[in-house]
Amino acid sequence: MTNHLTGITKGLVGALVISTAAFAGVFYPEGATTMHFAFEGSPNGDRPIVRTPAIYHADDGFGFVDSPGLIGTARGVTAPKYFRFDVNLPAGTYDITVTLGGTEGESVTSIRAENHQPMVPDVHVARGQSAVKTFTVTVKHGAAGETSPEGDGRLTLEFEGTNPSLMKLDIKPAGQPAAP
């Protein structure tokens, strides 16, 4: 887990306090305002790099789930039709920013979150290009399992389409200024 903490930007924003004691593998220490992830070979700055297969484990706090066709590329990750990325987070509302694209061919990516809610429809990105999209998601806690209306204690992001792609992912509490 020590490698993963290097990509988290500490902020001086208000008195944001997120308790990590109650959730195993929560990847969000007190005082952090933004979580940054880079995928495979994407330009990463101070972001931890997530490489395939990086399968989700609660103790790690993040990873890919049910993504057998996932491929790492020089600039991110892609799959023929679908992949999913989960992150342990405390209950709350979060602004999610994704950088899509970076594939060898055109990609068309739609994003669903938390209980399959459509968040971003059909983003077309030309070969070697990228597109940035931001949306807001509420993460809930309760009984484990995706069918629980109370939630499963983690953010679930589903990427689908034709060669859906992901280069970078930023997560921050809604309403907080963006951290560098």
Q: What is the CATH number of the domain that holds 142?
A: 2.60.120.430
The answer to the question of residue 112 being in a domain is yes
pLDDT at 99: 95
Range of the domain at 13: 2-173
- Nearest Cα to Cα of residue 98 among 114, 76, 127: 76
Assigned domain for 136 exists: yes
Amino acid occupying residue 56:
Y
Encode burial over 159-171: b for 16+ CB neighbours within 10 A, e otherwise. Answer: bbbbbbbbbbbbb
- pLDDT by residue for the chain (180 residues), tens only, comes to 333 333 333 322 222 223 222 333 444 455 667 888 878 665 555 555 676 667 787 788 888 998 888 988 888 899 999 999 999 888 889 999 999 998 888 999 999 998 899 999 999 999 989 999 999 999 887 544 444 555 677 899 999 999 999 999 999 999 866 555
User: Which has the closest alpha carbon to 41: 50, 29, 33, 31?
Assistant: 50
pLDDT value for 135: 96
Q: Can you tell me the distance from the alpha carbon of 19 to that of 47, in angstroms, rounded to the nearest whole number?
A: 22
Residue 179 lies in a domain: no
Question: What per-residue confidence (pLDDT) applies to 169?
Answer: 93
SS3 category, 12: coil
Asked, for residue 180, whether it belongs to a domain, the answer is: no
Residue 112 · residue 134 · CB < 8 Å: no
- Whether this prediction's pTM lies above 0.85 is answered by no
Write down the pLDDT at residue 11. Answer: 28
**Model pLDDT, residue 74:** 82
Q: Hey, which bits of the chain come out as E strands? A: 9-10, 32-39, 49-50, 62-65, 71-72, 77-78, 82-88, 92-101, 107-113, 117-125, 130-139, 154-162, 165-166, 168-173
- Residue 134 resides in a domain: yes
The number of folded domains in the chain is: 1
In a domain, 178, yes or no: no
- Rounded distance, CA 164 to CA 103, Å? 9
pLDDT at 8: 32
Q: Is residue 111 part of a domain?
A: yes
Residue with tokens 């706090």: 61
Q: Which of 169, 160, 166 is nearest to 77 (CA)?
A: 166
- Contact of 13 with 33, CB cutoff 8 Å: yes
CA 3 from centre of chain: 17
